[in-house]
A and B are shown apart, each in its own frame.
Chain A
């Protein structure tokens, strides 16, 4: 199948190095401590953060740092055909773990001993790159909940199809079976916290694809920072002195 036309356009009309449109909104869940909706094109994810709060299961309590938990699920209506079992399968357990580890790396857990932070992410619409979208939404929700973090974590995916590196794969490109590299970075510290790849990729191309994904992460980071800045400013000026 042809994923990049001779004119240099992808199936959905993007250039190979173009991202889908991103949109973020803070405060989607009224009762959560922090929450956010994050969209990348047709992928739409909602995240809610509860905590830091008392540990529910005493035996899991850690005496010098916070316990971070994460639950990933997909809504029944998120994919083309209705899903029977939205959570608890192998794929969602794996993604839960990936998100938990990524977020735990940036949360300053040592500041909140003997407490627990719960992150819930749910995919409302799946169109490829749900992993990245979930991480971005979770970052926003954590920042909204006022949880101290070393840096924002942002994530983006990239692939390699028709011998062209492609940024931010959608569902059709994702399911083509080519390599799919998901990268999560700390933009300010310039560190990689997540790197996943399925399928194989020649080592000389890998560098390029990863660099492309990192560029994508940075673009997401700029946008997220803008959204947070705007939100903070608004809260402060409404509160008044």
Chain B
């Protein structure tokens, strides 16, 4: 098990084993075992014609896997869906990334892909909200929008001719995210869905499940309307007193996160940590369920990373999937 170092006692070991066996049993019922490893031959019916997709190669007239994963067949197409691998971008994916460089007219972002992603200054809305050409002044002020090490949420725009990956952030919901935790999980655990932004009202937090396996848990921010008008005056203020110590009381209050919210952030983050170290797919429903389980057990936040809770989550997941199976019939 990656990530967590657990010291399970004998009963916990057996319980975890049993829960995992149940999961194995349930999933073996759902799909025929189609997992392959590197250099395994994939059985195909050549009469129907074959289209070789990702993770396959031809060797002596046989279709051979070049990756470890699960064989997927869509009509003629045969490809191998990888499990543990780096993120593979698709257009329209919502991702979370970290700025590593401010370059001319662009930011470079680390997004767990084989290259750095590029966010052009021209492919994002300016803070003043006006549509116009980007001037040299805008370019000089790029650091006032995003700096190095800022965490950013954006959308995949596509590949450029030179093979680089471009992002865009043309909406209020994209942009810099603050006051929270960034977690990294294996990208195969996050599924593409309609919704990747979630507001958990009961905890007052925002949850962004980036398709690249970067998960953001942070304080809820209202989609600000005041941003447009206030920015100009605010940036003047900031220039006037750039040092942190001279922040006015009002401003301090603005950046202050209540203790309860901070605790909720930590609790949710730990739920994600437990789920990812167990290798369960990460969705909002499962995260909320895990958080509620920890609250109902009256567990402290740090206890969520302990052995007992881990076993409980595994058992809960087994139970949940069993119920789902029954519902399906």
Contacts and interface: CB of A to CB of B under 8 A. Distances in A.
A200 interface: no
A151 B39 contact: yes
Interface in A209-241: 225, 228-229, 231-241
B27 interface: yes
Given A27-B2, A152-B38, A232-B37, 11 more contacts: A53-B115, A54-B116, A144-B68, A145-B86, A146-B67, A149-B38, A150-B59, A232-B70, A238-B23, A238-B280, A239-B280
A34 B85 CA distance: 8
Question: Which interface class (under 10, 10 to 19, 20 to 34, 35 or more) fits B?
Answer: 35 or more
Contacts of B27: 236-237, 240-241
Interface centre among B20, B36, B115, by most chain A C-beta atoms within 10 angstroms, is: B115
A143 B114 contact: no
A157 interface: no
A149 to B, nearest CB: 5
B33 A150 contact: no
Given A145-B85, A152-B38, A240 B66 contact: no
Contacts of B20: 238
Interface centre among B84, B188, B278, B279, by most chain A C-beta atoms within 10 angstroms, is: B84
B35 interface: yes
B70 A236 contact: yes
A144 B67 CA distance: 9
A113 interface: yes
Interface string A57-84: 0000000001000000000000000000
A51 to B, nearest CB: 7
B232 to A, nearest CB: 36
B115 A114 contact: yes
A148 B66 contact: yes
A146 to B, nearest CB: 3
Interface string A108-137: 100011110000000000000000000000
10 contacts: A33-B84, A53-B86, A146-B83, A146-B86, A150-B66, A188-B64, A235-B279, A237-B26, A238-B279, A239-B280
Contacts of A229: 35, 37
Interface centre among B33, B67, B68, by most chain A C-beta atoms within 10 angstroms, is: B68
A240 B281 contact: yes
Contacts of A51: 86, 114
A52 interface: yes
A54 B115 contact: yes
B189 interface: yes
Interface in B134-150: none
A207 B110 CA distance: 51
Contacts of B82: 146
Given A232-B35, A240-B23, A146 B68 contact: yes
B98 to A, nearest CB: 13
B3 A30 contact: yes
A235 B38 contact: no
B233 to A, nearest CB: 39
A53 B66 CA distance: 19
Contacts of B38: 143, 149, 151-152, 228
Nearest to B34: A236
Interface in A42-60: 51-54
Given A145-B85, A152-B38, A238-B278, A232 B68 contact: yes
B37 A143 contact: yes
Contacts of B67: 143, 146-149
A237 B30 CA distance: 10
A5 B85 CA distance: 49
A162 to B, nearest CB: 37
Contacts of A149: 38-39, 66-67
A187 B35 CA distance: 20
B252 interface: no
Contacts of A108: 57, 66
A57 B57 CA distance: 31
B111 to A, nearest CB: 10
Nearest to B278: A238
Nearest to B3: A30
Nearest to A54: B116
B45 interface: no
Contacts of B66: 108, 148-150
Contacts of B115: 53-54, 114-115
Nearest to B279: A238
A189 B86 CA distance: 27
Interface in B38-56: 38-40, 55
Given A113-B163, A148-B66, A150-B57, A241 B280 contact: no
